[in-house]
Amino acid sequence: MEIQHNTSLKKYNTFAVDVLAKQFAKFSSFNELEELTSHAIFNTQHSTLILGGGSNILFTKNFDGIVLKNELKGIEVVKKDAEHIYVKAAAGELWHDLVLYCIENNYAGIENLSLIPGCVGAAPIQNIGAYGVELKNVFYELQAYHLHDKTVQTFNLTDCNFGYRESVFKNQFKNQFIILNVTLKLNKQPIFHTQYGAIEKELEIMQVKEFTIKNISQAIINIRSSKLPNPKVIGNAGSFFKNPIVSKFRRYTIWEYHKDVVSYAIDAMNFKLSAAWLIEKCGWKGYRNGDAGCNPLQPLVLVNYGNATGQEIYDLSEQIIQSVKKEFAVVLEREVNII
């Protein structure tokens, strides 16, 4: 365990934005983390950023503080009951490796969350979700280390206050805790969620006769690989914006002029609108300015074609927000963490 100075973060964020961290350190055990946080740096005024896979972050400038890269490893079954298996994974495990482990062992519940980049420890931060399933559907508890009190605390489902791409860790406890591990409550008997997106169509193409968690995972991997740019090839952080939730009256006003509006009711009074549809309607799909652009296949994804700065990508996101606001009176919110 070593504290480095003026370290480039280019290989630690999937936008591949080249910024420097004033200090940078990795920890792969709880003892190392305790040792690090007892360092003199933590007694002075400083900013701390916990980094997993850097797949939901946009750095707009150098980071004037210490970046802690979480490399805690380990996956284990901690409890079983008649219907469930409780799997505990350390925060530095890759999320998709955990999905593969569960599929291999026939533990059902996270197959729809296949191929989401990043680490287990970041999954609760925004309550990751895809194809009709969110982390909260299988979440049991997590343990987190308080950076200032130096205590380990346990959070259950209620404590985390999960919402759509939201949790307490993005709000009142922002930057206060380091998530150490997450325990999921998985099902022995799978409950298949195939109605969402193009899953059923893909299963048909795959000529699947019988649903299993393995072939649902494979269908989702196929769909995602065909739609989303691979961050190893083109820098991106997945969906840059959240799908906005609007009143049924606002949605009706849009529908009056655009019968093709993509939306669905979330309750009697509110609709979720497709941010991708709004962005495309404003003409941004495939837009490129220098190396910052809006993906030609999925306009919700902003991309770095090579040497865009974080500020350039941020500025593009601001232009998109303003044009959607002007055209539809809807304010898009960024999903990606801006640093």
Ligand X SMILES: Cc1cc2nc3c(=O)[nH]c(=O)nc-3n(C[C@H](O)[C@H](O)[C@H](O)COP(=O)(O)OP(=O)(O)OC[C@H]3O[C@@H](n4cnc5c(N)ncnc54)[C@H](O)[C@@H]3O)c2cc1C
Q: How far is the CB of 277 from ligand X (least distance, A)?
A: 17
Packing angle of the helix pair 95-104, 213-227 (nearest 10 deg): 150
CB nearer to ligand X: give 84 or 127: 127
Alpha helices in 42-107 (DSSP H): 95-104
Residue in the block written with tokens 């409550």: 185
Q: Does 119 interact with ligand X (rule: CB under 6 A)?
A: yes
Round to whole Å and give the CA distance between 62 and 20: 5
Q: Does 128 interact with ligand X (rule: CB under 6 A)?
A: yes
Concatenated DSSP letters of 221-248: HHHHHHHSPPTTTSEEEEE-BPPPEEEH
Q: Does 299 interact with ligand X (rule: CB under 6 A)?
A: no
Q: Tell me which of 33, 219, 237, 292 binds ligand X, using CB under 6 A.
A: 237
Q: How far is the CB of 252 from ligand X (least distance, A)?
A: 29
Catalytic residues: 165, 239, 335
Q: How far is the CB of 270 from ligand X (least distance, A)?
A: 21
- The torsion region of residue 285 among left (phi > 0), alpha (psi -120 to 50) and beta comes to beta
Q: Tell me which of 231, 244, 293, 310 binds ligand X, using CB under 6 A.
A: 231
Q: Does 308 interact with ligand X (rule: CB under 6 A)?
A: no
Q: Does 99 interact with ligand X (rule: CB under 6 A)?
A: no
Would strands 48-51 and 63-70 be described as parallel, antiparallel, or unpaired? parallel
Phi, psi angles (nearest 5°) of residue 205: -60, -40
Alpha helices in 21-134 (DSSP H): 30-37, 95-104
CB nearer to ligand X: give 182 or 254: 182
Round to whole Å and give the CA distance between 254 and 222: 33
Q: How far is the CB of 334 from ligand X (least distance, A)?
A: 12
Binding to ligand X (CB under 6 A) within 199-228 occurs at 228
Q: How many of the chain's residues bind ligand X (CB under 6 A)?
A: 33
Residues ≥6 apart with Cβ < 8 Å to 202: 219, 220, 222, 223
* Stretch binding ligand X (CB under 6 A), from 44-52, 152-160, 280-288, 321-329: 44-52
Q: Does 126 interact with ligand X (rule: CB under 6 A)?
A: yes
Q: Does 293 interact with ligand X (rule: CB under 6 A)?
A: no
Q: Which residues bind ligand X (CB under 6 A)?
A: 14, 49-57, 70, 91, 116-119, 121-123, 125-126, 128-130, 177-179, 228, 231, 236-238, 337
